[in-house]
Structure 1
Amino acid sequence: MYVHSYLRLSDNGNIVIKVSGSANTTGDYIGGAAVGWKF
């Protein structure tokens, strides 16, 4: 299984963006994304 993830914070640290994806040896793929806001 292969997994990749990317996480980014905004300059002021209030917004978080995460993107991830994975694939297995049988050719199945899955991906997701999320945005969070700290207040």
Structure 2
Amino acid sequence: MPAGADPRGGWTPAPARATLPPPAKENRMIPAPFRVARHPA
């Protein structure tokens, strides 16, 4: 059984919450480098 899998066959809210924050942080961190690359000055 995969980590975070619910015995009933569903998914627990913990893995879902742990999976959502990373993309949000990546989206916040990605635009910054792009802005610096677009506007080096």
TM-score, reference length from structure 2: 0.25
Greater relative contact order (CA < 8 Å, ≥ 6 in sequence): 1
TM-score, reference length from structure 1: 0.25
Structure having the higher helix fraction is: 2
Q: Which protein is bigger by CA-based radius of gyration?
A: 2
Structure having the higher strand fraction is: 1
